[in-house]
Structure formats: C-alpha cells, structure tokens
Structure 1
Amino acid sequence: MAALCDRFLTEYAEHHCKPSTRKGYEIVVRTCIKPKLGPRKIVDISRVEIVAFHHGMRDRPYMANRAVSILSKMFNLAEDWGMRKDGANPARRIKKFKEEEKKRYLSDDEQARLGHVLAEALETGQETPYVVSAIYLLMLTGCRLGEILTLQWDYVTARHLELPDSKTGRRRIPLPREAYDVIMSLPRVVGNPYVILGESDEGHLINLQKPWRRIKAKAGIDDVRMHDLRHTYASVAVMSGIDPFLLKEIMGHKNLQTTLRYSHFADEAVQKAAGSVASRLAGAMRRSVVDQPKLRVVS
C-alpha cells in the first residue's frame, strides 16, 4: 500500500491535479493512510478493513471522508495498473460522516475593525503593503487565497482579472475600481511577474497566515479564517440582491448549489425589508389615530 500511495502521488496526482489538490492528497496520504495501511498488501485490503479505518477516524469526520475518497481513487488505479482484480474496490460506497460546514462571516462592525487595523498596519509599517493589499483584495473580489497570491500583472486589466487557470479552470473575475486601485498602488519589480510579493524581490508571497494571525488578533476576530473573507463577500452580495446565477460566475463556483448555501442571507434581507415596511405602515396608522379628533358622544 505504501508503494501504491507513492505511485498515486507521482503518476496520477502530479499530472492530473492542481497544486492545491496535490498538496491536500499528500497530507492525507502521509498522516492518515500510510501510517495505518502502508505495510499491508494491496490485494489483502478488504471492505471490512476500510470501514474500520474510516470508523477509527470518526473524531475527525472531514479527514476521514477525504481519506476514504482518496483510497477509492487509489484502488481504481490499482485495478487499472493490474494490482487488483477489476470491480473489487473495497473503498466504494462507504457511508460518509456528516460534516458540519464552518460558516463565519464578518459583521459590519467586524469589517470596520478589520479595515482600521489594516490602515494602521500600513501606516506604521507593521505589515508590508503587499500583505495589507492581499487581504483587501480577498475582501473586495471574493477570490480564493491562491488566486490572489499567484496573481500576475499580465492578468490584470482595467475591469477584470483574467486568470488562465484556477481551481475551476480559466476565470474572468470582475475587478471593481476599489480593488483595481489597490493593485495599482503596489510597487512593481522589474523581472518579477507577480503582484503580491514576499520578503524578496523574486516570486510571490507564500505565507499570508502569519501576518493574518497578527492582524485578526488586533481586530478582535481571532476565529476568522482567511477563507471567511470570501464567505463574507458572498454574504454581502446576496444581501445586496445579486442574483445567484451572477454570483456563481463571480465566485467561480462549479455548480449553483454551492452558491445557494448563502441563500439564507437573502431570506434575512427580505425579512428585514418586510419588517421595515410594516414598521413604517404601523407608525403611519398610529399617527392617524392620534391625530384624529375625538368623537363626541351625544346622549
């Protein structure tokens, strides 16, 4: 199994998966699959063993489900490579654990605090302009972290980010004026194609997590992940009345169902609007009652 893991990563993942996907595969293989199943013979692995492997990771449902999905891919390839007989994938149809989706969105007050901390960090030089700009761009575009960190000047136009490749393939992302101005304010380094630079003049910023931890601590939003900035963008878009089909294209979601996860924000906006109308009408009716002259009863 250890040899199958290695071949899966080098012959399959290396040539058919995006870098972020490959990295995720490598982590699961190294930390979960190899330690438990590495010494076992490929032909000896049974469905019962995979079920037990999955159940043994029940305290980590997300990782358990990913591990079984990867194992299923590996066993399919093992059949293609003649290592197991056809139709004998022991990782098929394993009942997955329910995964609680982490939903965190910045409130208006939290957005204001984050903006204040970013402005202060830029003014005092506590963080580089590239770090501050990267976080601004995550908020203003709804892009994924990797899309911002690997952004190149050649991809930037006056109205769009033209990404030749992303998690969902080629993307054309709308570039609002505010985000465009952030990009144009950054110094360019001759010979370096990237927009968001790291400590050196070569390549791009690799690790935004460390400065993000400092920034979010000062803003009092310690539980916020960088990916939650993308969630915040989507939630604000829905509350602003943007059509889900348009938002799907902006966010680069593969299917509409992913976008519809934010539909409850539309419900909240409708509820708030309805409440505002009812409050205004009720106020008008109360005033009319107060202003109406009292009727005199004639006996």
Structure 2
Amino acid sequence: MASDYLHRATPVMPAIGDLMANGKLTKSMVDGLEPKPSDYVQWCGQLPGFGVRVRPSGSKSFIVQYRIGGRNSPTRKVTVGTYGKLTVEQAREAAKAILAKAELGEDVAGDRAKRRAELNVAQLCDEYLAEGCDRKKDSTIATDKGRIERHIKPLLGRKRVSEVTRGDVEKFMRDVAKGATATDEKTGKFGRAIVTGGKGTATRTVRLLGGIFTYAVDRGYIETNPRLGVKVYADGKGERFLSASEIEKLGETLRLAETDGLPWQFNEGAKSKHRPVNAENQREKLCPHAIAAIRLLLLTGCRAGEILNLMWKDIDFDRGFINLPDSKTGSKPVLIGAPALQILASLERKADNPYVIVGSKPKEPRSDLKRPWKRVTTHAGLPDLRLHDLRHSYASIGAASGMGLTIVGKLLGHASPATTARYSHFADDPLRRASDNIAGQIAAALGGSKAGAEIIPIAGKAGSNG
C-alpha cells in the first residue's frame, strides 16, 4: 500500500544538497531573493515541491510542483499565489493542501487547465495582461491593451479559448484589415481616439494574439496555438530614406525656423480675425528645444522617445556618450559624434527641469514633436517624411559608407542582427565597386570619363588591338 500511495503522487524534489542549503522558506529568505536575467525557483528545504518563483521583473509567486503516476510521469505545476498578496505561511498551507490532494490522485493543475480552457478570449486577454507580460516594457503593455480592447475583444472576446480555430484567426485578420473595428470615439473633454484598422494594424494585432495563445499553451489551457500557419500581411513599414538634397532642404528649413521663422500656414476656413495683421508677424519661430531634438534624431539615429526623455545627467560630454536608462532594448550607452555634442552643449538648460528637451511644464520633458515636425516638413516639401525616418536615414548613410552592418547595428542599439539587415541594400557592395571600376575603365578608353570618377587603366599595352 505504501508503494502504491507514493506512486500515485510524487512531489518533485530538488537535489538533497539543495534542500539542505535552502532550508525552510521564510519571509526573510523570500525578501532577500534578487531577480536574475531569467526565471528561477527557490525551493523549500522542509516541504518538498513547495517553492517561490522569482521573475526578472522582481515579482515573486509561490508554486507547487508534483507528479501524478510516478517518477516517469510529467511534472505538474500549480501557482499558489503572489508574494505580497499571500504570506509565506499562507502559501505553505495552501501548498500542503494541493500536495495532499495530489497524493490522493487529484490533479489540481490538470483540473485548473480544464477550467481555464473554458475561459473566453476576453478573460484570457485579461489574465495575459496581468500575468504574462512581466518582461514587457510599460509602453508596450499600453499598446497591447489598446489592441486588445479595440480589436481582439470586440471580434473574438466572447468565443471560448478552446473553440478558436486557425480559420477564426484568419477571418479576424481580414476583418481588422477591412476596418470592421474602426471607431472614432471621444476620450475626455477634448480628445478623440480614432481607430482605422488596415493591414498593418491587422498584422500587428494577429502577432499579439499569437503571443496570447502561446501563453495559453504554456499554461496548459490549450494544446496548440490557432495562430500557427496564419500568413499575415506584409508589414508595409514604408521605410523612407532621405537623399542628400532632402537633408539639405531639411537643414535649410530648420535654420530658417530658428532665425527668421517659418511663414504662417493658414488653415482653409479659419477665421480671419485670428490671423496676424502685419506682414512681419506672419512668420513663426519654432521652439529651439524642438529644433534641437529634430537635429539630434538625425545626427544620432536615436528614437524619438529616447531623445525626448534624455536627461542632462545621462550625457557624458567628456567621452561623447549618452546613457539611455530605458530604451526599447533596455539600458544602453549611445556613442554620439561631435556635431550632436555641439548641439547639446549650446542648448539652454532650465534650472527647474532636469530634461534636455524641456516641455511647457516644470520638471517634465516635451511630450511630442508633432506640431513642429509638421511645420518643418511642410515647408521643406517633405510632407510624407516621418520622425522615425530620420533613424532609417542615419542607418542607411552608415551602411552606404562601408561601415558594415555590425557597426551600424551597434550604433543603433539593435538587439538582433536581423533588425539591421534591412539596410543591407545600402551596404558598400563589392559588385557595385567592380561595376563602377569596369565602367570607369571603359569610359576612360572612350574618352568620356567624368571628373571625380575613379579611373583604373585597362590591362595591356596602350594601343594594343588585343
């Protein structure tokens, strides 16, 4: 009987040495656990199968691990609760109850998974946001929430998780692309949220949906991810790269904006009483901090949020670095050139504001560059240019200069070489150089070489018929 009893439920035990070293889980022990780059579990040395999982974010949750059917059976894990909401002792008592049920043949983890499979998609999304986003940045989570509330819940929210098929996901993608979830809703007293849908939104939302279903698979709620095999639309990022002449136009406009000012742009139908009367007042100088931000974006390749949230304390003028504590890819130092350092050195500092690009409120940065950017691009004749295209242009110039994609990727802070690979067509191509050299030789022989071209003599004696 004893052997059968142990065969039905076996707590998953760490090594004996680990148990002895760990000791009993206590409040002081749990408080002292520091986060690491990946998840880890601190097991209790007194109650086998009971532990606390520590995530990279610093969050801690109690778990129970056991097997049903003997040591060759797959492990089962049950999350007891979050530390802070439960004390160590409360979690220990709950763990004992779960292990007792397991010894009697009751699979608590399996039962939970079956119940969770009956969740609808809206409930799964809520759980994912609460428990499955530990490694995401706050800004990314905010974007996910928007896509969930505006697209996923309206179209799939009531459907049972276990009932969602690949065909449902494909239809969802088509519906979002066609604008089925498009809205124009009022937010607050003056704001509006305009949701248009489209193929780009559909692709990004389906990828998020796939991540949510991956979470469901990992938790055992479903066996397969219905997003698998769904072909999404091309991203259609429409990357724009400035030519040398366009950079000159942009530079001329920025200089005019900070000196004489840009001509007023009157909206059609606007009341004339709001327009300046005197000709000398019909120009507008833009904020020097906004102009500096635009120049820095082009000169550094940084993202707009990285420049807008840059603080003076994060600039190392001596070594030519800016230290970004919270970029898209985490904290990182960014090497910047002398022109960017000169802009930073000449920019006025506000005594009550620690940010480089100050906003209208004390101690806060400027929130965005939408208005000055529109004024600048309209005057420069570049209405289709986006702020992020300045980053693309920085990268394309670096790639075309023969620096190598590895160097360009490091300057941009790309976490993966695949991200930089999009600029490979700008790279200094040996075939291009060979083509230019051959054409140069032929042009020289024809007497039609252009000034400044690299001319390499054709092999063989001059005047030879070959």
Q: Per the shorter chain, which TM-score range?
A: 0.7 to 0.9
From 203, 207, 214, the equivalent of 1:65 is: 203
Match of 1:218 in 2: 379
Residues 143/222 of structure 1: CA separation in 2 closer, same or farther (3 Å cut)? same
1:95–1:278 Cα change, 3 Å: closer
1:138-153 maps to which residues of 2 (within 5 A)?
138-153=297-312
- Is 1:12 aligned to residue 132 of structure 2? yes
In structure 2, distance between residues paired with 1:284 and 1:47: 64
**CA pair 35-120 structure 1, distance change in 2 beyond 3 A:** same
User: Offset of 1:44 from its aligned partner?
Assistant: 3.4
Residue type at the aligned position of 2:168:
E
- Tell which deviates more after alignment, 266-275 or 234-243: 266-275
More strand by share: 2
**Does the CA-based 8 Å contact 2:162-2:222 persist in structure 1?**
no
Q: Which consecutive unaligned segments of at least 5 residues does structure 2 have? A: 1-120, 179-197, 262-283, 449-466
Please point out which of 291, 295, 319 is paired with 1:136.
295
The one of 235, 247, 256 aligned to 2:417:
256
AA aligned to 1:163 is L
CA–CA distance in structure 1, aligned partners of residues 211 and 400 of structure 2: 39
- The one-letter amino acid of 1:92's match is L
Displacement of 1:26: 2.3
Match of residue 23 from structure 1: 142
Matched residue, 2:74: none
Deviation at 1:285, TM superposition (A): 6.0
Q: Distance in 2 between matches of 1:252 and 1:141?
A: 11
The TM-score normalised by the length of structure 2 is 0.56
In structure 2, what is the equivalent of residue 111 of structure 1?
247
| Identical counterparts, % of pairs | 35
Q: Is the CA contact (8 Å cut-off) linking 1:248 and 1:256 kept in structure 2? A: yes
Cα offset, 1:245, TM superposition: 1.1
**Partners in 1 of 2:210 and 2:442 — Cα distance?**
60
Q: Distance in 1 between matches of 2:155 and 2:234?
A: 23
Counterpart Cα distance in 1 of 2:358 and 2:350:
9
Q: Is the alpha carbon distance of 1:46 and 1:220 closer, same or farther for their aligned partners in structure 2, counting shifts above 3 Å?
A: same
Partner residue of 1:166 out of 278, 302, 327: 327
Give how far 1:218 is off.
Answer: 0.7
**Alpha-carbon offset, residue 267 of structure 1:** 4.9
Can you give the 5+ residue segments of structure 1 that lack an aligned partner in the other structure? 288-299
CA contact (8 A) 1:50 1:90 kept: yes
Q: Deviations over 1:137-163 (max 9, x none)?
A: 000000111111111112101211112
The counterpart of 2:402, out of the listed 225, 236, 241, is: 241
**Residue identity opposite 2:247 in structure 1:** Q
How far does residue 18 in structure 1 lie from its aligned partner after superposition? 1.4
Give, in whole Å, the separation in 2 of the partners of 1:131 and 1:224.
Answer: 17
Q: Which moved more, 1:226-235 or 1:184-193?
A: 184-193
Q: Which residue of 2 aligns with 1:185?
A: 346
Give the TM-score taking structure 1 as reference length.
0.84
Distance 1:274 1:46 in 2: 52
Q: How big is each residue's C-alpha offset from its partner over 1:232-270, in whole Å with a ceiling of 9 and x where there is no partner?
A: 111111222212111110011122222222222235797
CA distance in 2, matches of 1:193, 1:267: 41
Residue 90, structure 1, aligned to residue 226, structure 2 = yes
Report the Cα distance in structure 1 between the residues aligned to 2:294 and 2:370, rounded to whole angstroms.
Answer: 11
Larger Rg belongs to: 2
Alignment-mate amino acid for residue 305 of structure 2: G
> Which stretch shifts more, 271-280 or 137-146?
271-280
Matched, 1:176 2:365: no
- Provide the C-alpha distance between the structure 2 equivalents of 1:268 and 1:213, rounded to a whole number of angstroms: 36
Q: What amino acid is the match of 1:45?
A: V
Confirm or deny: 8 A CA contact 2:404 2:427 kept in the other structure.
no
CA distance in 2, matches of 1:175, 1:73: 36
Letter paired with 2:367: I
Deviates more, 1:250-259 or 1:97-106: 97-106
Q: Is the 8 A contact 2:329 2:414 kept in 1?
A: yes
Aligned residues: 285
Structure 2 residue corresponding to 1:32, chosen from 147, 151, 155:
151
Distance in 2 (CA, whole Å) between partners of 1:104 and 1:270 is 24
Equivalent position amino acid for 1:21 in 2: T
Structure (1 or 2) with the greater helix fraction: 1
Alignment match of 1:75 (pick from 195, 206, 213): 213
Distance 1:274 1:73 in 2: 46
